[in-house]
Structure 1
Amino acid sequence: MTALRRLAALLSDLRLAITLLLLIAIASAVGTILPQGEDPALYLDRFNNDPWLGLINGDRMLALQLDHVYSSFWFLSLLGWLGLALILCSWRRQWPALQTALRWIDYREPRQLSKLALAESLSLDDASTGLRRLASSLRERGWQVQEHGERFSARRGVVGRVGPLLVHTGLVLLMLGAAWGALAGHRLERYLAPGRSLDLLNRQGESQLTLTLEQFAIERDPAGRPEQFRSVLELQAPNDASPSIHEISVNHPLRFRGMTVYQADWSLAAITVQLGNSPRLQLPLQTFPELGDQLWGLVLPTRPDGSEPVLLALSSEEGPVQVFGSGGDSLANLRPGGAAAEINGLPLRVWEVMPASGLLLKRDPGVPLVYAGFAITLLGGGLSLVATRQLWAILDPEGRKLHVGGLCNRNLGGFARELPELISTAGGCRD
């Protein structure tokens, strides 16, 4: 039994909790810096030749589960350890402290009050009347008063003692929700062009939901920089008679049957061109990271045998589309829907550039617990600011003096300044 108590005392130690919080914060920072949930080949290709911090290559990164920090065994173990420490601290300290605060303490002798942090003695002609006046005044100010003949006990702000217990409860719920979401949640990121669909399947391979992108628009400022992205989505569930239409944008996600759809990014999906007298050709675009960020393009041959290729490059669905020859020289700038330009003896026209919406779909069963944890933690933090004040008053056996003593768990100086005003209603002068 003694060993268990020592273990409980060690696990609920404040220094241990602070250490665990520090480790969780460092791990969260690592998870923010490093890409998460990518293909293992990405980590091997990127970090084997250039180890992170000069120490951790791709193989070690995968072995340490740094590619999925928040669902890793060691991160969840830290959360569980901290949760256990908070539960034990609540059980060993906060709950007994709350029980003690709810119990009335009855001091019977004036000498007991003299040992309190705040103590005053009033000389009164009629101390009994002064005692009743003081008790009545405290009730009017919102104090709870329990009278015992020639003495009383009063208190205010006992609800503040519930605050630390609620903070611990909220943090435990928050960590439970985070762990549940990391283990049972799903995350999917896809680029969709208008008119394209995405089927979400359950574990049995059956369709749960069909998501179709009806429209996608990019709002730009006068300088041409993107300001907002908007997607109009059609959602069709297997048992629904008709689909539902919803619009999402950045910072305005869609929540639908436990799933959240975020407007995360944008891209360019395809370009429609006409070369000479050919039919209109819709060709997929790809990124060229070696040429710069936010740059898309394709290599287009201008001869039937695939020779004399040109590079079409663009950074916006509005254009311009830059045309480069095989030697890297600029041949033309084309606008979508604009006039054609002669390239290698053939007219080349760009009819349309199709943007793609970057959608992030998340299903996190732990979100209600996380929100509840945040709410309870904030409520507990607010209540923790409420000072618990206690006051006792005892008549002198001779009936000529009133002895008053007080305690406060925080801001004792403020209570000391308030005490003379409180006891002034009893009349008399202080000794």
Structure 2
Amino acid sequence: MSKIICQCGHENPEGSELCQACGRTLTEAAAKRKTHDVMRYEGMARRSQTYHSSIIDKIWNFFSSVKVGVTLIFITLVASAIGTIFPQEFFIPQNIPAVEYYESRYGIAGKIYYVLGFHDLYGSWWFMLLVAAIGTSIIIASLDRGIPLYKALKKQRVERHDSFLKRQRIYTAYEGNASDDVIERIGEGLRKRRYKVKAENGHLLAEKNRFSRWGPYINHVGLIIFLIGAMLRFVPGMYVDEILWIREGETRSIPGTEQEYFLKNDGFTLETYQEGDSEVFDQTIQRTGAIAKNFQTDAILYKRDENAVAGSQDELTEVDHHAIQVNVPMKFDQFALYQTDYIENELYKMNFTMDNKETGEPVGAFTVDLFNPETSGVYELEEGYSVELTGYYPDFSGFEDGEPQSDSPLPNNPAFLFNMVSPEHPDGEVAFVAIQQNLEPLGPNEYEISFNGIETRDLSGLTVRKDLTLWILALGGAIFMFGVVIGAYWNHRRVWIKKGPDSILYAAGHTNKNWYGLKKDIAPAFEYAGLDQPMDHQELKESDSSAKEEEESGTTRQHK
């Protein structure tokens, strides 16, 4: 890379706008400005403004653009907003495939929503790419600006050229005041204001709150850590947020534990408010019915033995027994089980009898377990009588081409195809039995199946959570807020004092923000040296413009 040699002889990297030794302008664009507005990076060369040839340079330059970063954030926000139009996959009924649910519920819009991955927005590959692109943009933009800024601030020279001082917004030339005593008194006054003062050859540099320049970069570090924590949630074992539906008496493996831990629902309890318990709930109870006071799952936690077959429930060791309530979770091995939902009186078993149609007398009774039916099994009744279950349709929805259909594996509307064996009919008689239906598809039967009651049980909904990324997210958020505080409440302030020819004293000041605070801060030091406060040329320019406008308006009124 070629160098730019300043008039003072200092070699500056290509792309520099100000000489790092004396502060002279090095480019025509910088020379045309009346004041230096390149002081954000001290006029140092940035990589994105210097290298343009290779593909790496083009990628670097693309992601270093603030416009690109803002655009990526905007696209991500728009995608997040679209993801709230329809519920995410986590919140839809789990017994229906997502592709069927969205299309049947929301039509063509739901199908597009699913195909584009908005149903699982935060787990979709393209959303992860957007987050990665934002992180890349933050890293590259920070390096592109932070490294030159660090080098410039580290190598600050006390002595600056006259042109550098004259181009500062706060600047004044004091005639006949360039004495060592005056400079020393200014330095002493600035030290009282907690400035770090350096003096060389009759020149002075006073600096305060340099650390505030790193506030935005600390923000970026916090954001990067936060994004890393968010992306780690998709690494297996780092984050689990699953729903576990478990019935009374049932033992199931806990999601996310790789079938190492099992949970048994030892009983579900629901307590409701009764009228008279509380005046607050009486009107609501009368209007909407029962209100849950407490619902809990008496759970037993088991751990599979190390040498047991994966998924096997034969070799389990009891670990804990806990009543899981709302806001009272069961915690174990970085997991927590929360009580979040329940379903009462779910169909569990159905009782039937085989009856003689003519006499109405039963010849035997049997029970069908709706979750573990003995399909193609035989229910033995009295001697010579039996019933064979040849077909089971847990969520019967009708016939298609003469065949019974089931919408789901849950026993919402169970139907059965039985073969009834009797001494009179050793080959059996076929009966199709559903709720309020008793069909004889092959002709009239001598025997029939009659409904004889049901058994129900409660279903408990537990949320299984494990989050090893929470501390990373908290750390990123804390670092981000630390950067916000630094950038919001402090600002980098500098004052240059130079002894010029003919007893002229040059004074200039710069800050990255809050110019009023800088003027108020340095005024006592100049008063202590017997000098007026340095002038703000931006205010002078604005006041001159206002005076000119008032003069022109007054002339116009006189003309009228």
Structures share a fold, TM > 0.5?
yes
CA deviation string 1:31-90 (max 9, x = no partner): 3333224559443443334545x5442xx4443233322111111111111111111111
Mapped pair 1:47 → 2:102 = yes
Equivalent of 1:410, from 513, 516, 519?
513
Mapped pair 1:394 → 2:470 = no
Could you tell me which residue of structure 1 aligns to residue 344 of structure 2?
268
How do 1:136-147 residues align onto structure 2 when only pairs under 5 Å count? Answer: 136-147=188-199
State whether residues 123 and 429 of structure 1, in contact with CA within 8 Å, keep that contact through their aligned partners in structure 2. Answer: no
How do 1:241-280 residues align onto structure 2 when only pairs under 5 Å count? Answer: 243=320, 249-250=326-327, 256-268=332-344
Measured in 1, the distance between the counterparts of 2:117 and 2:346 equals 37
State whether residues 200 and 208 of structure 1, in contact with CA within 8 Å, keep that contact through their aligned partners in structure 2. Answer: yes
CA spacing shift, 1:115–1:190, aligned 2, 3 Å:
same
CA deviation string 1:210-258 (max 9, x = no partner): 47678867686534555887778665656999637586644x7676433
CA deviation string 1:92-145 (max 9, x = no partner): 123322332343232345554222111134567784233223323323322222
Could you tell me which residue of structure 2 aligns to residue 35 of structure 1?
88
Could you tell me which residue of structure 1 aligns to residue 487 of structure 2?
384
Measured in 2, the distance between the counterparts of 1:202 and 1:27 equals 28
CA deviation string 1:145-188 (max 9, x = no partner): 22224222122222222222222222222222222213423332
- Identity, in percent, stands at 17
How do 1:31-430 residues align onto structure 2 when only pairs under 5 Å count? Answer: 31-32=83-84, 33-37=86-90, 41-49=96-104, 51=106, 54-57=108-111, 60-110=112-162, 112-122=164-174, 127-184=179-236, 185-191=239-245, 198-200=252-254, 206-208=259-261, 210=263, 222=281, 223-224=284-285, 243=320, 249-250=326-327, 256-268=332-344, 358-385=461-488, 386-397=490-501, 402-429=505-532
Could you tell me how far 1:375 is from its partner in structure 2? 1.9
Measured in 2, the distance between the counterparts of 1:187 and 1:175 equals 19
Measured in 2, the distance between the counterparts of 1:413 and 1:392 equals 17
State whether residues 294 and 325 of structure 2, in contact with CA within 8 Å, keep that contact through their aligned partners in structure 1. Answer: no
Residue identity matched to 2:244: R
CA spacing shift, 1:266–1:395, aligned 2, 3 Å:
farther
Measured in 2, the distance between the counterparts of 1:213 and 1:9 equals 62
Could you tell me how far 1:22 is from its partner in structure 2? 1.7
Could you tell me how far 1:406 is from its partner in structure 2? 0.8
Q: Which moved more, 1:209-218 or 1:2-11?
A: 209-218
CA deviation string 1:290-326 (max 9, x = no partner): xxxxxxxx99xxxxxxx9x99xxxxxxxxxxxxxxxx
Measured in 2, the distance between the counterparts of 1:213 and 1:103 equals 72
Could you tell me which residue of structure 1 aligns to residue 73 of structure 2?
21
Q: Which moved more, 1:238-247 or 1:108-117?
A: 238-247
Measured in 1, the distance between the counterparts of 2:166 and 2:205 equals 15
Measured in 1, the distance between the counterparts of 2:82 and 2:519 equals 48
CA spacing shift, 1:257–1:395, aligned 2, 3 Å:
farther
Over the residues paired in the alignment, what is the CA RMSD in angstroms? Answer: 4.6
Measured in 1, the distance between the counterparts of 2:189 and 2:507 equals 14
Measured in 2, the distance between the counterparts of 1:214 and 1:260 equals 19
CA spacing shift, 1:29–1:157, aligned 2, 3 Å:
same
Residue identity matched to 1:374: G
Measured in 1, the distance between the counterparts of 2:245 and 2:177 equals 87
Measured in 1, the distance between the counterparts of 2:188 and 2:267 equals 70
Measured in 1, the distance between the counterparts of 2:203 and 2:272 equals 74
State whether residues 194 and 214 of structure 1, in contact with CA within 8 Å, keep that contact through their aligned partners in structure 2. Answer: yes
Could you tell me which residue of structure 2 aligns to residue 293 of structure 1?
none
Unaligned runs of 5+ in 2: 1-50, 274-279, 286-290, 306-316, 348-368, 371-411, 414-432, 437-455, 535-560
CA spacing shift, 1:254–1:181, aligned 2, 3 Å:
farther
State whether residues 296 and 323 of structure 2, in contact with CA within 8 Å, keep that contact through their aligned partners in structure 1. Answer: no
User: What is the aligned length?
Assistant: 365
Could you tell me how far 1:189 is from its partner in structure 2? 0.8
State whether residues 90 and 168 of structure 1, in contact with CA within 8 Å, keep that contact through their aligned partners in structure 2. Answer: yes
CA spacing shift, 1:139–1:260, aligned 2, 3 Å:
farther
CA spacing shift, 1:18–1:111, aligned 2, 3 Å:
closer
CA spacing shift, 1:248–1:403, aligned 2, 3 Å:
farther
State whether residues 117 and 406 of structure 1, in contact with CA within 8 Å, keep that contact through their aligned partners in structure 2. Answer: yes
Measured in 1, the distance between the counterparts of 2:531 and 2:171 equals 15
State whether residues 232 and 245 of structure 1, in contact with CA within 8 Å, keep that contact through their aligned partners in structure 2. Answer: yes
Measured in 1, the distance between the counterparts of 2:233 and 2:173 equals 60
Could you tell me how far 1:10 is from its partner in structure 2? 1.4
Measured in 2, the distance between the counterparts of 1:248 and 1:141 equals 59
Could you tell me which residue of structure 2 aligns to residue 347 of structure 1?
none
Secondary structure of residue in 2 paired with 1:21: helix
Measured in 1, the distance between the counterparts of 2:529 and 2:269 equals 75
Measured in 1, the distance between the counterparts of 2:192 and 2:329 equals 50
Bigger Rg, structure 1 or 2: 2
Measured in 2, the distance between the counterparts of 1:227 and 1:147 equals 75
Secondary structure of residue in 2 paired with 1:427: coil
Residue identity matched to 2:499: L
CA spacing shift, 1:269–1:86, aligned 2, 3 Å:
farther
Secondary structure of residue in 2 paired with 1:96: helix
Measured in 2, the distance between the counterparts of 1:187 and 1:392 equals 59
Structure-2-length-normalised TM-score: 0.53
CA deviation string 1:353-381 (max 9, x = no partner): 99765321123443333222222222222
Measured in 2, the distance between the counterparts of 1:214 and 1:429 equals 84
Where relative contact order (Cα < 8 A, 6+ residues apart) is larger, the structure is 1
